[in-house]
Structure 1
Amino acid sequence: MLRTGFSPFFRISRFALVCSLYALALSGCEKDDICVDGDTPLLIIKFYDNENPDNTKNVNRLRVLGLGEDDPVDTFSDRTTLDSIAIPLRPGETQTTFILILDSEDDDEDEMEIGNRDTVRFDYATREVFISRACGFVAQYEDLESELQEGSENWIQNIEVENAFVQNLDSTHVSIFH
């Protein structure tokens, strides 16, 4: 008698083959195919009371502009009152300059911005660090230094670099006293 169907052994081995191919395809995926830790860190600045240096102090209606930029930094709400901010450094450069404006507002008559402007420059060395295949490289900054451009009406009194190695968002990098 001639059988035309497949034997049960053939069905089981075909099922095992399909399962093996499926498992092999899944094993090609790595858990780091989704980037979770791949952001270049921001510079954390905390503002303190110059007369009482242990106490934080809010900056009223703060606006931060990158030197030569028309739009404010977008890592925090513009013209808000804050005691700390996180701002980006330029990874392809060795320095980034910001204009920090206290009591920023628009003058409707002259279409100019009013407020007390201070210019701060940050110098640093950039180091690229490989995170994973999915994330690629991120920039980290080391040897951070700061310089306040002196003016007759500076609202910033002093700047101290607390952590010269910017590799995460866990701690304050710079303290500004006003």
Structure 2
Amino acid sequence: MTAFSSSLRGKGRRAAAAGAVSLGLLVLSACDQPTPRATVTAGQDSVTAEASCYEDGKTLGDLTAKEKAEQAKFEKCLTSKPDQTLTVHPGDKVRLGVEPDMAEQGWIAMSNGMPMTSLSKQTYTSVDGDQVFYNQQTRQMSDSTTISIMTSKGGKYTGIWNIKLNRASS
């Protein structure tokens, strides 16, 4: 009888353990996964940001969206307030980095509504810090700007990462 009851206890523990593992996996699958991250570095400082808008690689829209709802959603993402801020000193290079999955899709960086980079499939690029703050429309230097890093698939954007840059006085 002891052999029978000890084998039941062992099976009961295994069943309870399997149930706990299954429940744990179910709880984890319900959690939001973090979005891919973009990193901007200037001098010795860097910030890493999660996406302002990202729907697991689904299309957000584009700059020439025909449907007003799609265009409004895209513009809201593009103009959303950045969570991260970085100060750029005169002469600094601004280095932009993305995760390999983002680079595989292709990405572009914009500042003051103008492209700073061409579409890239590399995980890293750098630009002149002064170029970031130059507003081509007003032909003046800005004291701050927001860099928008956008992933692209087939000409449509799939994610937007916004990071605010402040220009140091000297």
TM-score w.r.t. the length of structure 2 is 0.34
Structure (1 or 2) with the greater strand fraction: 1
Rg larger in structure: 1
Q: Work out which structure has the larger RCO, using CA pairs closer than 8 Å and 6 or more positions apart in sequence.
A: 2
